[in-house]
């Protein structure tokens, strides 16, 4: 009797499954978008990259990725966090140029295989997420970008030239525009990139990588400088190791670098002094050590220099303080507090009086608000392995002389006028 009853039930289940099978297959087959559903091949490739990355996300508390479906990557309500533009002014060249995921709280094991597969990306701002331990490298892109924090307070206007496209971005922390200048790439297939104009003299490949508050750990990439970034913000992470010498390779592009509040160690590198276009260099609250290299006298564009909260020692060089002196002096803030410096050059005294230079909590005899003598003696008794600062004149890159020749008022700007500081919040 039991076996007799099982047969109809089995048949019913089989018929039920067969009746739903076409719908299931149809639904599954319709899910992947087809190339002809997109305005151009660029956006189709971006769609594939986004979907692959989406499948690796392990936490999405704000359900942002629910909008990452379909073919309308550049829509106002779809694909939240993605921004598009047409660098060439032609609709068939619409492409993903910016990603802003600030405060989304998403988790994924890594960014490699995602950012490096979006070749037109100019801006990646993803504070307060959790994207594993790697720092992605943005490879060379075929366009030049000028990123401004605010339309009324342009931090670093680039060289003048015809702008053939733009993308406006308005978020709680960025209110600005990305402007496009076309660059010819001669080593790529002409049908793909070439023939779209010329690079104006002095233009920079301005791209931003903003990854504050992301629980990033491990060392900085050895080839960090090869990314040719203009804005680099990696504050409030758990990065370790030294600042790689390759940072000098970014001397023609890097405008702001924020490494605040990590666990970076090693000697303060000579190569940082080669960043002659940088207005912001902030490596405060780390474990860097050594004297200030003589190359820092080449930082003729620097306005904000923060090395406070490290293990630096020796003399605060006069040549560094002179970057705030005279008609070409731009240095408005020099923070060297909470280190182990023992003396200051004559030019530094006036900066302390003017509030430009902060030397509190050091080991400078005769100065107020310094460390206890026993604490200083304990530190200076430890072996020192970093190269001594050279007293001889250092050969600065050519750009340093150009920056020094340009008159500039020494004005303490609001921190929000800088790209990296403006994005420094959760």
Q: How many domains does the chain have?
A: 1
Q: What is the pLDDT of residues 149-163, one digit of tens each?
A: 332 222 332 322 222
Q: What is the pLDDT of residues 364-409, one digit of tens each?
A: 999 999 999 999 999 999 999 999 887 556 788 876 655 555 555 5
Beta-ladder partners of 165: 180
Q: What is the mean pLDDT of residues 257-262?
A: 97
Q: Using an 8 Å Cβ cutoff, are 104 and 62 in contact?
A: yes
Which carries the bigger pLDDT value, residue 388 or residue 139?
Answer: 388
What pLDDT does residue 282 have? 98
For residue 159, which of 114, 119, 202, 190 has the smallest C-alpha distance?
Answer: 202
Please provide the DSSP assignment of 201-239 as one string: TT-----EEE--SS--EEEPPTTGGGG--SEEE--SSEE
Tell me if residue 138 falls in helix, strand or coil.
Answer: coil
Within a domain: 41 = no
Dihedral sign of CA atoms 219, 224, 227, 229 in order: positive
Query: CATH number, domain at 303?
Result: 3.80.10.10
Within a domain: 113 = yes
- Which run of H or E residues covers position 349? helix 346-354
DSSP state of 156: S
What pLDDT does residue 125 have? 84
Q: Using an 8 Å Cβ cutoff, are 249 and 288 in contact?
A: no
Within a domain: 410 = yes
Residue 254 has pLDDT above 50, yes or no: yes
Within a domain: 157 = yes
For residue 101, which of 133, 68, 71 has the smallest C-alpha distance?
Answer: 68
Which carries the bigger pLDDT value, residue 174 or residue 273?
Answer: 273
Within a domain: 396 = yes
Q: What is the mean pLDDT of residues 117-122?
A: 84
Q: Count CB-CB contacts under 10 A for residue 426.
A: 10
User: Which pair of structure tokens corresponds to residue 67?
Assistant: 């909008």
- Mean pLDDT of the residues in the chain: 76
157: domain range?
Answer: 80-422
Within a domain: 22 = no
Which carries the bigger pLDDT value, residue 137 or residue 84?
Answer: 84
Q: What is the pLDDT of residues 337-352, one digit of tens each?
A: 999 999 998 999 999 9
C-alpha pair distances (Å), 146 with each of 17, 151, 214: 57, 12, 25
């Amino acid at each position: 009797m039991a076996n007799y009853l099982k047969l109809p039930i089995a048949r019913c289940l089989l018929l039920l499954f067969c009746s739903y099978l076409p719908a299931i297959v149809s639904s599954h087959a319709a899910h992947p978008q087809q190339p002809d559903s997109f305005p151009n091949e660029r956006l189709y490739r971006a769609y594939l990259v986004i979907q692959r990355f989406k499948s690796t996300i392990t936490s999405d508390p704000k359900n942002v990725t629910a909008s990452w479906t379909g073919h309308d990557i550049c829509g106002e309500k779809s694909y939240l966090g993605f921004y598009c533009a047409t660098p060439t002014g032609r609709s068939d060249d619409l492409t993903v140029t910016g990603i802003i995921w600030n405060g989304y709280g998403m988790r994924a094991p890594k960014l490699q295989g995602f950012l490096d597969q979006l070749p037109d990306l100019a801006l990646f701002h993803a504070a307060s997420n959790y994207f594993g331990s790697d720092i992605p490298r943005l490879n060379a892109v075929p366009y030049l970008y000028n990123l401004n924090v605010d339309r009324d307070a342009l931090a670093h206007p680039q060289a003048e030239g015809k702008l053939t496209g733009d993308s406006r971005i308005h978020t709680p922390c960025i209110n600005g525009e990305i402007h496009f200048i076309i660059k010819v790439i001669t080593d790529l297939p002409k049908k793909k990139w070439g023939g779209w104009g010329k690079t104006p003299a002095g233009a920079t490949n301005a791209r931003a990588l903003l990854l504050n508050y992301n629980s990033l750990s491990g060392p900085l990439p050895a080839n960090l400088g090869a990314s040719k970034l203009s804005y680099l913000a990696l504050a409030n992470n758990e990065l370790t190791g030294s600042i790689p010498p390759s940072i000098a390779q970014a001397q023609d592009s890097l405008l702001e670098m924020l490494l605040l509040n990590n666990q970076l160690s090693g000697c303060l590198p000579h190569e940082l002094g080669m960043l002659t276009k940088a207005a912001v260099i902030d490596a405060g609250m780390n474990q860097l050590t050594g004297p200030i290299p003589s190359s820092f006298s080449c930082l003729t564009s620097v306005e904000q220099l923060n090395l406070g909260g490290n293990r630096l020692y020796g003399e605060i060089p006069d040549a560094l303080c002179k970057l705030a002196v005279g008609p070409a002096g731009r240095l408005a803030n020099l923070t060297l507090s909470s280190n182990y410096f023992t003396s200051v050059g004559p030019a530094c005294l006036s900066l302390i009086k003017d509030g430009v230079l902060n030397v509190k909590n050091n080991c400078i005899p005769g100065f107020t608000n310094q460390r206890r003598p026993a604490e200083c003696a304990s530190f200076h008794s430890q072996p020192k392995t970093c190269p001594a600062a050279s007293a001889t004149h250092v050969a600065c890159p050519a750009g340093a002389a150009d920056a020094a020749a340009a008159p500039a008022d020494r004005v303490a700007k609001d921190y929000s006028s800088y790209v990296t500081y403006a994005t420094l919040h959760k």
